[in-house]
Copies of this chain bind each other. A is one copy, B any other.
Amino acid sequence: MRHSAKPSVAKSSAAKPRRRASRAATPKRYHHGDLRRVLIEAALQLVGEGGAEAVSVREAARRAGVSPGAPFRHFPSRDALIQAVAEEAQRGFRAEIEAALRGAPVGDPLGRFRCLGLAYLRWAMRNPTHFEIISSRRLFDHDRAAAISKDNAELIALTEQTLAEASAAGQLRSADLKQVQIAGRALVYGFARMNIDGHFPRWGVAGPEAERTAEAVLDLFIEGIAKRP
């Protein structure tokens, strides 16, 4: 926020300095001990409260009980802080995808493709702020975040490969795999963003219902691309 649209989030849970677990307890130290970690958590909290643009370095510092300049010892800029949050989120996302893939059917590529889509949607619905922060290019410089770009490229390659296997197994109707892949991505991305952007209330999709709708929509798409007798 710029300033006065958020007039006073302030002064609530500030001033609770932590220290290394291996040290004796003294309630107030000059050195924080784990400020970087706490700042990331505070930023994540701020994302959840008002969107990624609402992350303010000062407010994060305030919540960490530290002076406004302190965060810049750990992050060269606000963007770098947000990028760190994004890397955190990306790790969680990747873990979810890989877990889902481990539980996917082995001899059924299209079924694996469905699992991928389902994991994508489920994670996005349950962690909308995390999803938002890794999805929009404007929030930070994706080119600098090598880990995130690499992760994304690998996941894209993974779906590509899965689709290719499905095609080779004769499970697909269309021959243009690239179009199928982009369409699938647009579908899940669009669904996840509709959730973030607050479209679902006017579509009559309530919160808890959204995850089931997500699955139904994904199945609709997959039936659409599958070869039928």
Contacts and interface: CB of A to CB of B under 8 A. Distances in A.
Contacts of A149: 202
Nearest to A51: B138
A221 B189 contact: no
Interface stretch (A14-22, A34-42, A100-108, A190-198): A190-198
SS class, residues of chain A in contact with chain B: helix
A153 B204 CA distance: 11
Interface in A157-186: 173-174, 176, 178-180, 182-183, 185-186
Interface residues of A, number: 48
Contact of A138 (B182, B197, B202): B197
Given A138-B198, A149-B202, 9 more contacts: A2-B78, A179-B213, A185-B190, A186-B187, A187-B187, A188-B190, A189-B194, A190-B191, A220-B225
